[in-house]
Amino acid sequence: MSEELRITPRAEDFSAWYNDVIMRAELADYSPVRGCMVIRPHGYRIWELMQGALDGMFKETGHENAYFPLFIPESFLAKEAEHVEGFAPQTAVVTHGGGKELEEPLVVRPTSETIIYGMLAKWVQSYRDLPVLLNQWANIVRWEMRTRLFLRTTEFLWQEGHTAHATQQEAEEETLLILALYRRFMEEWMALPVLTGLKTESEKFAGAVRTYACEGLMQDNKALQAGTSHFLGQNFAKAFGTQFQTQDGKLDYVWSSSWGVSTRLIGGLIMTHSDDVGLVAPPRLAPIQVAIVPIWRNDDQKSLVLEAARAHEAALSGAGLRVRVDDREGMKPGAKYFDWEARGVPVRLEVGPRDVESQQAVLARRTGGKSPVSAAELVGQVTTALDEIQAALLEAARQRREENTVRNVTKEQLTELMAGAGGFAFGGYCGDEVCETAIQQETKATVRVLPDEEFRSEKTPSKCVWCGKKSVAEAVWARAY
Ligand SMILES: [Zn+2]
């Protein structure tokens, strides 16, 4: 435990604050290998909870888990031209194994489309074999030059979904189904409100026909791409010969989708909710939801309060909550409070001798506020508090996003905004990559998405924010991670 570690305030240096929160809450640490990270138990538990929620949602929608190898023959990557162009600069390549040079170098997977659609070519023969709805939980390697804990690391953990369908329509529906599923997970579990929409050609996944994304706004007003869902058309099927016999006896290539979210989400969770005291974890993903701190001055009091604390723990655990009794010796209650706050525990229960006498505990919320609760109503009160905190975090994040969103921006406003406060800037876009590139060069902002209908402005801007020509779509710009 590193109680003395000071957390840099957000206003002073957001990036230092982010690292301090991670180190103080013991979520992750730097590894001896540059660009890689060690995920510590408190951080890994968040990932496990995310996995559990997402895995349940994938299975509810008919997907099955499978596992494909870490190594991919280098020639596989080369089969889809855009794909290899996009990923080749980032790959790690194994050239030797068992002391010998390999006949064909192996790429450490930067994503698994190639090996999966390669295998599907063998497994799919007829329309009866479709759809194939696969998901894989795996580690991925993309050689990164500039890395940040959770946000961009050379090796990271993720899930990648890969599906194959008999028709274009089914594959497109699947792509959008997952986009909506991701959004629901981000909002309901992470309390992270996201914009959804389409990526521009230059921002789409290498090898996709269309890429859709969920974009969140962090507290420093930079956007975070939190998840992507790709409609791949028949691109990979054609590259790998994934064909099937249609109902009327013809041969066709399968239509496919792929989609993923990664441990980057943990970085998003931290940057959305945490404060200068440390991590703020939304209750549904908090490794520990309730920390019970017994307060004693002597041994008699100690056995009294510990007994009550254990009884509270049993009642709360019995209701399915994640609880920890902090019975550490030689540490003042105040130091314990501070420790649990830094670790993002949403609810703390303080139990002193007087509380035991009056059959109550004091409930303190990580997000502020303290009140006594009777032991008899403990489970109900704690559950309510956790639900309220979860809802309030989402609402606060949504409000912050709205306050930092400017619609129908002019060129001057866009430039000024991106040089200063940041945030989401909505404006008209002519669809020309020349404007997209110029905006990126001059403001460092990129098109995050061409937003889905529900996020669009009431009145679609008629002119491109940059060149003034006719706008073909509304776009959302932001500086991004
Ligand atoms: Zn333009």
Q: Is 383 helix (H, G, I), strand (E, B) or coil?
A: helix
φ, ψ of residue 446 to 5 degrees: the values are -120, 160
**pTM more than 0.85:** yes
Res. 460: pLDDT tops 90: no
Token pair 């959008």 is at which residue? 176
Q: How far is the CA of 464 from the centre of ligand 1 (A)?
A: 5
**CA 452 to CA 195: how far, in whole Å?**
8
Q: How far is the CA of 469 from the centre of ligand 1 (A)?
A: 6
| Residue 178 contacts residue 134 (beta carbons within 8 Å) | no
Q: Is 249 helix (H, G, I), strand (E, B) or coil?
A: coil
Q: Give the pLDDT confidence score for residue 360 in this predicted structure.
A: 97
- Nearest of 455, 396, 398 to residue 426 by alpha carbon: 455
Q: How far is the CA of 441 from the centre of ligand 1 (A)?
A: 14
Q: How far is the CA of 429 from the centre of ligand 1 (A)?
A: 6
| Residue 205 contacts residue 230 (beta carbons within 8 Å) | yes
Q: How far is the CA of 201 from the centre of ligand 1 (A)?
A: 15
Using only the alpha carbons of the chain, give its radius of gyration. 25
Q: How far is the CA of 413 from the centre of ligand 1 (A)?
A: 15
Q: How far is the CA of 462 from the centre of ligand 1 (A)?
A: 11
Mind listing the pLDDT tens digit for each residue in 110-155?
999 999 999 999 999 999 999 999 999 999 999 988 889 999 999 9
Q: How far is the CA of 444 from the centre of ligand 1 (A)?
A: 16
Q: How far is the CA of 450 from the centre of ligand 1 (A)?
A: 14
Instruction: Kindly tell me the sign of the dihedral angle through the C-alpha atoms of 14, 291, 183, 135.
Output: positive
Reported residue count of the chain is 481
Q: How far is the CA of 179 from the centre of ligand 1 (A)?
A: 28
Mind listing the pLDDT tens digit for each residue in 214-261?
999 999 999 999 999 999 999 999 999 999 999 999 999 999 999 999
Res. 2: pLDDT tops 80: no
pLDDT band at 1 (very low <50, low <70, confident <90, very high): very low
Q: How far is the CA of 195 from the centre of ligand 1 (A)?
A: 22
Q: How far is the CA of 459 from the centre of ligand 1 (A)?
A: 18
Q: Give the pLDDT confidence score for residue 4 in this predicted structure.
A: 59
Q: How far is the CA of 443 from the centre of ligand 1 (A)?
A: 15
Supply the mean pLDDT for the chain.
96
Mind listing the pLDDT tens digit for each residue in 275-294?
999 999 999 999 999 999 99
Mind listing the pLDDT tens digit for each residue in 333-349?
999 999 999 999 999 99
Helix ranges (DSSP H) in 88-130 = 113-123
Q: Give the pLDDT confidence score for residue 85 in this predicted structure.
A: 85
Q: How far is the CA of 463 from the centre of ligand 1 (A)?
A: 8
∠ CA 229-239-168 to the nearest 5 degrees? 45
